Every structure is written in C-alpha cells, then in structure tokens.
Amino acid sequence: MAKIKGPAFCPNCGFEGTPKKMTPGSIGVEIVLWLFLIVPGLIYSVWRVSNKKNVCPNCGNENLMPLSAKQGYLNLHQKNT
C-alpha cells in the first residue's frame, strides 16, 4: 500500500481529511523488550516505526486513497447509477 501524504479519502465511509497515524504493536511489549533485552527492543521499535499506517479516523479502514484520487474513484463507481 502506498503511503499517502496530505489529505486522504476513505472509500469505505466517505471520510475526507487527514488520516490518523497508527503504530502497530504495543508500547508495553516495547518497554519490556527494552528493559530486558536491548537489541530486540531496538529491532521492535524500528519495526513499529517502519510499519506505521495511515488509517481512517472514522472507521479504521486502512485502504485510504489520496484525496486527489477521489473524483476518479467516484466516477468509476457511479457510472451505472
């Protein structure tokens, strides 16, 4: 999935605006790994940061598209209505 910069459009619920940054994994696991095992803690932190996703703040959909692509999407899906 491509990373989106700027405003995004959610085809699931129609949300338009700034996507929410979601960091995968858990901060608790990260702290425990850092406390006991420095190297896995570092790897886990890097994994979490590098896997940040843009999600819809409204419905949690991960498949957002740039707002600039919204009109094309709507044209494609409203052709027969």
Q: What's the closest the beta carbon of residue 43 comes to Zn ion, in angstroms?
A: 32
Token digits of residue 18: 């700034």
The count of residues interacting with Zn ion (CB under 5 A) is 8
What x-and-dash track marks residues 23-62 binding Zn ion by CB under 5 A? ---------------------------------x-xx-x-
Q: State which of residues 7, 11, 15, 33 lies at the interface with Zn ion (CB under 5 A).
A: 15
